[in-house]
Amino acid sequence: MASAEQEALSPSVMAAQSPQSGINGAATAAATENSVAPNTTEPSPVDNLRDTILSPTQSSLHPLPSKPVSQLSSQAATPNMTQSSTPIPPQSQTKPRIVGGFEVDDDEEEEVAQDDRDEADVYDPSVGLDFDAPTPAAPSNPLDRTSQSPEQENGITPAPVQATGSLTDISSSTLPTGGDAPYAAPAPATPAPPQHSPPRSHVNGTVSAGLPKSRLAHDVIGILEDRIKDDPRGDTAAYLELIDELKSRNKQDDIRRIYEQYLSVFPLAAEQWCAYVKWEEEHDRLRAMETLFNRSLLEVLDVQLWTLYINYIRRRNSMQSGDTARAYNIINESFSFALKTIGMDKDSGPLWQEYVTFLKSGPGTVGGTGWQDAAKVDTLREAYQKAIAVPTAATTVLWKEYDSFETGLSKINGRKYLQEKSPVYMTARTAYTQLQNLTRDLRRTSKPRLPPAAGYEGYEEYMRQVHLWKQWIEWEKEDNLVLKDEDLALYRGRILFTYKQSLMALQFWPEMWYDAVEFCFANGLENDGVKLLNQGIAANPESPLLAFKLADRIESSTQNDEGADPGAKERMKKIREPYDRVLDALYELIKKVSTRESLEIQKAEVAAATNGEADGSGEDEINAANVTARKAILDGQIEVIRKSSQAQTDMLSRTISHVWIALMRATRRVQGKGLPGEKGPSGFRTIFGEARKRGKLTSEFYVESARIEWQCYRDPAGTKILDRGMKLFPEDDYLPLQYIKHLFEINDVTNARAVFETTVKRLLAHDDVEYTAKAKPLFAYMHDHESKYGELAQVQSLEERMRKHFPEDEDLKLFSSRYNTPTFNTISVHPVISPTQIQAPQGSVLPSVEMPDAVNSPIQKVIDSIATHSPKRPFPDDFEDVGPRKVARGESPLKGAAGRRMNQQQQQRQINPPAGMPAFPVPPPLPSQITYLLSILPRASTYVDARLDATKMVELIRDIHLPPPSAVAGQHPPPTPVPGSGWPPYPQHPPAQMPPQGFIPPPGAAQAPYGGTPFRYA
């Protein structure tokens, strides 16, 4: 039994497996089962590709449905026409015209008709696709969406027009659920006059459903399940509350289901893994515990979880009875495996202590003479030496135990072992102190949360945590434990371990995943990098950063093979898979925003209606003023909701457009224009067609597509694409500017000026500040171009128009812009004509060409020390002591009244010295010539030939035997000064008396060191 458990929990078989169950999993399974699509049993060719890099759908950690989300969502978004009791014939339906993902109004029929006549001249990737034909069988490649209709690709499904009833009468079965019911042809019915559908937002989506039925107050489980369904990644508290509620009712199957659902969304939540294991242990489900350990241990690096694993192993392999030697070996191997994986954690001190205690209880006696005793000593010594090298809270305690252990065996040998390991211990102890200071404000949690938006509640705190985690990682990279040269694998392992710890708390921060992946790829950890990349994409499917990284990795690791893969189609399937995943997630997110907007508007309307009924007790109280006021309040609330949703949708649309741009560029690199002679659009032009079908594009997509056509192939289709974009985005400011630049580049000046005039006229016709601001970049570019290459009359005409529309701009700035270049402003130059323009200011020194060196002579430093009342000599210039400095002395505690009294007494002593005591003489200042000489002396660092050795100087002075002063006084009279030119003799000053104790010189007086006479320099 024990051997089977040991084999089941060995490191080689501990592969993490993500659960399939849960609410989201059930919904996905239902959608897959109920959806009607041919060839559903045909395996996807992408799954059969054998590539060293795991794609997100191939990852065993986070399995994904084999069917793309877009197909499920597009089918779910198509209402079942059989549900209507009076279906409408096709000719009576008012189907909006879709062009490039945008609806074209009826008044634009002539323009659209003209566009259709120009289709032969305009490159259209969708040429050759019959959109009116029935939908064929699903292609073998799930990434190929050319078989779907334009409406399905756009995500825009026109609302079915009903003959009778209102929107609220639509059956719930016609709304998108997990899957579609089998399609049945509508029965013929009497045509009914079409009714105008309510105004729809430009956001793709179906008819919004009515408000969901409210739960009863006592239906706690249903309320919590609804919260989880509405916000599976944001409302983490709902999971925990639901688990507690189910535990109180002893619904064990439901408890497991919610645990699995929670861990499928948060696979690194160590706290809930531990809670799950403990709950299974409470019910004595040991096999279930083993399964959980196999799934979690190698992925969730948490000390508490590994402690539960050790306790489980010791429980199943008791050393109290049975084969104790075998049980000891199993437990010892489990401890070694756990400490190798989690032992570098700064909180793993208790686990190291428990391991040492376990070794002490093993067979053998410490200090004995048998081989078993010696083996036990060697095992304990090795464990101690490993433990004291890890910075933990138990490092000091383990060092003391190790000291007692070695000295107890042999003082001589013990001292040798202790001296060898003392530097390692000191480094670990210092490192632990640094880590504690560094992570004092860090919250090491495994309950991740979505990052708050910038400017909202919690954003600053979240970014603070991100900064602290990055500081910890940088601390590990600085190699404070001195491991890089001795044990490079351990050095990299500690950094990777810290990255994984940070990802437990910052699971939804893609930048941290990217940093971890980059570190792995840069340090030869390829498998870990690919694994982290797949986990990051599964946790953040909406992140373009991680999708681009994976696609770039696949593209750089594969090559085109025209023999085995003509046109690089198979290679492109693998490369575009990450792009398709992020696109599907972003389109799905737009639908959620649209649905949330509809629900919030309906809630606001219901709330307003309820308040209106509650406020008025009778019809007399309801008057026109009240109705108008309530309607204004409701309109304001709806406007706020729509603006918020519009801002989110615009941001998502721009993101989607740039993902399509990245995919189009990658396809051009791999496939170019496609194989010659291939029917229909091929190569990167296929991406252009697919993107237009799915919609939600911005003007940037059309600009970049046109640039690829022109810059790479000099194809005139680029001009046609920009022209089509001008019709789709008539009030955009970015695309017209790029179109004008392109026309000037191809030397089509006439059309460039025509586009400018047309666009400016359209924008200024709104008579709105917002649209006027959009026209300003166009005016600025045209003014710059005409100033360089146009006529003066055109320039002056443009300036007159700019003064009219932008009166806040300065005329001088507008005029000077004609003659400026990006590197020089001619108008702002004021040349120097006379020397009087460059006279030095009064009271200042004329700036010199040469910068004077700082005065750094030894004598000057002594003078500075005197001026600062310091009796200590300064440090030499070459003093490079990097050791700890003295701590600065704190402020004096004598503050307030006591401090003021002491200051008054000191000032009184300085003004009125005690009677009988002569005033302390102030040393005269040095002559200016001496001061100048001292200032120009070279600094001490320039004396490199001979250095003063203070030790030898002291020894020399000590060993000199001088005669007594009485024998020397009468032998040599003092020299007589020689009259002549030169410096006058320095005046003699009588020796000053020693000031009394406690005397303080007056302010401004420089006191000699140690209270002696003033310094003199001869």
Report how far apart the first and last C-alpha atoms of the chain are (Å, whole number): 98
Contact between residue 546 and residue 514 where contact means Cβ atoms under 8 Å apart: yes
The pLDDT of 914-942, averaged and rounded, is: 74
- Is the predicted pLDDT of residue 288 greater than 50, yes or no? yes
- Is the predicted pLDDT of residue 988 greater than 60, yes or no? no
Signed CA dihedral, 802, 804, 808, 811: sign only: positive
pLDDT at position 736: 94
The pLDDT of 140-146, averaged and rounded, is: 36
Q: Please tell me which residue, 58 or 719, carries the higher pLDDT value.
A: 719
pLDDT at position 569: 85
Q: Please tell me which residue, 560 or 1, carries the higher pLDDT value.
A: 560
- Is the predicted pLDDT of residue 1009 greater than 50, yes or no? no
- Is the predicted pLDDT of residue 866 greater than 50, yes or no? no
pLDDT at position 936: 85
Percent of the chain residues topping a pLDDT of 70: 64
- For 385, half-sphere exposure in the C-beta direction (CA atoms, 13 angstrom radius) is 13
**pLDDT interval class at 664 (50, 70, 90):** very high
- Is the predicted pLDDT of residue 193 greater than 80, yes or no? no
d(CA 499, CA 697): 36
Note the pLDDT tens digit of each residue in 31-46.
Answer: 333 333 333 333 333 3
Note the pLDDT tens digit of each residue in 243-271.
Answer: 999 999 999 999 999 999 999 999 999 99
The pLDDT of 317-335, averaged and rounded, is: 90
User: Who's near 447: CB < 8 A, 6+ residues apart?
Assistant: 236, 266, 269, 271
Give the residue from 726, 774, 588, 734 showing the smallest Cα distance to 203. Answer: 588
User: Who's near 285: CB < 8 A, 6+ residues apart?
Assistant: none
pLDDT at position 838: 87
Task: Name the least confident of 419-433, 747-761, 982-996.
Answer: 982-996
**pLDDT interval class at 94 (50, 70, 90):** very low
Signed CA dihedral, 147, 150, 156, 161: sign only: negative
- Is the predicted pLDDT of residue 441 greater than 50, yes or no? yes
d(CA 532, CA 514): 9
The pLDDT of 823-830, averaged and rounded, is: 88
Q: Please tell me which residue, 142 or 496, carries the higher pLDDT value.
A: 496
pLDDT at position 919: 57
The pLDDT of 115-132, averaged and rounded, is: 38
- Is the predicted pLDDT of residue 491 greater than 90, yes or no? yes
pLDDT at position 937: 83
For residue 640, give the H/E element and its range.
Answer: helix 624-671
pLDDT at position 922: 67
Amino acid code (one letter) for 665: R
The pLDDT of 62-91, averaged and rounded, is: 37
User: Who's near 339: CB < 8 A, 6+ residues apart?
Assistant: 348, 351, 352, 355, 386
- In degrees rounded to 5, what are phi and psi of residue 98? -110, 125
Q: Please tell me which residue, 734 or 608, carries the higher pLDDT value.
A: 734
- For the beta carbon of residue 21, count every other beta carbon within 10 angstroms: 15
Structure tokens at 529: 């990098």
Q: Please tell me which residue, 508 or 120, carries the higher pLDDT value.
A: 508
What number of helices (H) and strands (E) belong to the chain? 37, 2
Q: Please tell me which residue, 473 or 869, carries the higher pLDDT value.
A: 473
pLDDT at position 967: 63
pLDDT at position 899: 63
**pLDDT interval class at 51 (50, 70, 90):** very low
Q: Please tell me which residue, 871 or 648, carries the higher pLDDT value.
A: 648
| Residues forming a β-bridge with 821 | 824
Percent of the chain residues topping a pLDDT of 90: 46
Region of 983 (left: φ > 0; alpha: ψ -120 to 50; beta: rest) is beta
pLDDT at position 558: 87
**pLDDT interval class at 564 (50, 70, 90):** confident
Task: Name the least confident of 527-536, 578-587, 958-967.
Answer: 958-967
- Is the predicted pLDDT of residue 954 greater than 60, yes or no? yes
For residue 316, give the H/E element and its range.
Answer: helix 303-316
Q: What is the overall mean pLDDT for the chain?
A: 74
- Is the predicted pLDDT of residue 665 greater than 70, yes or no? yes
Residue with tokens 């909202």: 456
- Is the predicted pLDDT of residue 158 greater than 90, yes or no? no
Note the pLDDT tens digit of each residue in 698-755.
Answer: 999 999 999 999 999 999 999 999 999 999 998 898 999 999 999 999 999 999 999 9
DSSP letter, residue 369: S
Task: Name the least confident of 210-219, 310-319, 331-340.
Answer: 210-219
**868: three-class secondary structure by DSSP:** coil
Task: Name the least confident of 75-79, 393-397, 715-719.
Answer: 75-79
The pLDDT of 893-914, averaged and rounded, is: 63
Amino acid code (one letter) for 947: R
